[in-house]
Amino acid sequence: MGNGILVVCEQENGVPKKTAYELLSKARSLVSEIGGDLSALVIGSGDAADLGTYGATTVYTVDGEDFSSGATGAWLRALETAVNQASPAVVLGAASARTREAFPRLAARLGAGMASECTDLRAEGGRVVGRRPMYAGKAFADVNISSDVALFTVRPNSFPGAAPSGGAAGATALSVSLQDGDLAARVVGTEEPQGQTVDLTEADRIVSGGRPTDSSDNFDSLIRPLASALGATVGASRAAVDAGYASHDEQVGQTGKVVNPSLYIACAISGAIQHLAGMRTSRVIVAINKNPEAPIFQHATYGIVGDIFEICPMLTAEAQRQGIATS
């Protein structure tokens, strides 16, 4: 049985992602209840020095081209090595493209239990319990894990980011030996997106458009400028994506992305159960719809009964006038 918590801190362009600070913040309070040390792991070259001031006693780093190449096998071997080194009771990671493949593989390798996409964690009886949505958010349950080490991934924006705690843990470089097959699946290229670059699942503000935008031109002239004026990421309903107004990776809902922003603005989205499944945990929901009976209003913090062709450009202009995107 291990003890303490190991937080896997993902980074982008050499800088820890926001989720790293969210996880460290939560882990710091959990570890004070379950005991043991808090350690952090940064895989792939990057600036890890900063993380030591956020409550981790040890910051493990794994450097090298193989580890920053995106090869799951190498990333997984680094994870395994860090777990063996730190022998934690709990491993935390953000729910991300990387962990969706590597964490289940790590769980299988260790014979460990795993809870995916938790939206809350708590300590109970010396263990960590995860709470997570299932059935696309129509039900929630606690996940209890009895293996020696328990793995959890957490949705972005589930916890506030940490403030520095004043500690100054140094980085400890881990030496990881790759084994046969670790590089069998190799990343040979990366395709950049044509439009936006913020991951919807990590976005703090989202503006989504529905089918009544009625064309990709309208979607581009109503929804995208509003998102840009609010410093938000663009989302879309399934109907808008299926009609070709927005791209597949912009779809929010049960067969698209599940998002968890502070602000979600639904423009001409009626609120079908499949769409609600993807955004119902948003902190503040704004609905703009000309049908006052649209189910989305039952879930909205603020509602405007009106036509998006009128309201969206006005909202865009007002947000621009107030310089919201940069605030």
Partner 1 sequence: MKVGVCIKRVPGSDSRIEISDAASGPDLSGVSWEVNPYDSFAIEAALQLQEAGIATDVVVFSVCGADGDAKIRDALAMGKKGVSGASKAVRLDDPAFEGSDALGVARILAAAMNKEGVDIVLAGKQAIDGDSSQVPAMMAEVLGWPSVCQVTQLEVAPGAAKAWRQSGGGKREVVELPTPCVVTCDKGLNTPRYPTLPGIMMAKRKPIEVLDASALGLDPNTVGAAASVVSESGWGSPPSRPAGRILEGESAEVVAQLITLLRDEAKVL
Binding residues among 50-89 for partner 1 as defined by CB under 8 A: 70, 72-73
Query: Does the footprint of partner 1 cover residue 270 (CB under 8 A)?
Result: no
Query: Does the footprint of partner 1 cover residue 285 (CB under 8 A)?
Result: yes
- Measured distance between the N- and C-terminal CA atoms of the chain, rounded to whole angstroms: 47
Q: List binders of partner 1 among 240-259 (CB under 8 A).
A: 247-249, 251, 254-256, 258
Is the four-CA dihedral 245, 240, 98, 91 of positive or negative sign?
A: positive
Contacts of 189 (CB under 8 A, 6+ apart): none
Q: List binders of partner 1 among 145-174 (CB under 8 A).
A: 145-147
Q: Please give the single-letter amino acid code of residue 81.
A: T
Please choose, out of 49-57, 81-89, 191-199, 210-218, the segment that lies near partner 1 by the rule CB under 8 A: 191-199
How many Cα atoms within 13 Å fall on the side-chain side of residue 218?
A: 17
**How many chain residues touch partner 1 (CB under 8 A)?**
99
Q: How far apart are CA 320 and CA 106, in angstroms?
A: 46
Out of 259, 286, 294, 308, the residue judged to bind partner 1 by CB under 8 A: 286
Q: How far apart are CA 73 and CA 233, in angstroms?
A: 31
Cβ proximity to partner 1: between 76 and 169 the closer is 76
Q: List binders of partner 1 among 5-44 (CB under 8 A).
A: none
Tokens 């800088």: give the residue.
15
Cβ proximity to partner 1: between 32 and 322 the closer is 322
Q: List binders of partner 1 among 302-321 (CB under 8 A).
A: 302-306, 310-311, 314-315, 318-319
> Helices 72-86 and 97-110: crossing angle, nearest 10°?
50
Cβ proximity to partner 1: between 59 and 95 the closer is 95
Q: How far apart are CA 184 and CA 224, in angstroms?
A: 40
Query: Does the footprint of partner 1 cover residue 133 (CB under 8 A)?
Result: yes
Query: Does the footprint of partner 1 cover residue 210 (CB under 8 A)?
Result: no
